Amino acid sequence: MINLRDYNNQEEIITLLAECMYPDVERVKREYERYRNDQNRILLGRIEGKNLVGIIGVIWLTENEVELKHISIKASKRRQGLGKKLIYEFIKENQIKRIEVETDKNSVNFYKKIGFKITSLGEKYSGVERYKCIKDCY
């Protein structure tokens, strides 16, 4: 994985980031800028050939605990284990002891399948149930 802070194709990053966020272009751009400017955040990507095929964005909570804020895989690369691979590679390379993520019903089974403990947060937004997913590592 590479750090995308100085990656030269900003539009490619924003397009992939938008796929895992509420589709508001200005909001996605603001989130991208947070990754570029906040030292407690990191946005990493996987390049295959010359294409960005996946991203993972985290916020450092402590030296070895993170909150996974974003994960997105290019549509043509989905369901091939790349999301799991990005998470586990990040955990290993950074000696992460705990990773947490908040997600919705559409993604909760992905996290459950790869060993996260799932807790319902209830209906956090009108009509939308949210889940806290936590994985203790090592």
Chain segment 22-48, per-residue pLDDT in tens: 778 899 999 999 999 999 999 999 999
Give, to the nearest 10 degrees, the angle between helix 10-18 and helix 25-37: 120
- Token digits of residue 51: 């294409």
pLDDT for 75-129, tens place per residue? 999 999 999 999 999 999 999 999 999 999 989 999 999 999 999 998 887 888 8
Instruction: For the chain, list the domains and their CATH numbers.
Output: 2-136 (3.40.630.30)
pLDDT at 124: 80
- Say which residue, 125 or 52, is predicted with more confidence: 52
Average pLDDT over residues 48-64: 94
Q: In what order do the strands lie in the sheet with 2-3?
A: 2-3, 41-48, 51-62, 65-73, 98-104, 128-136, 117-125
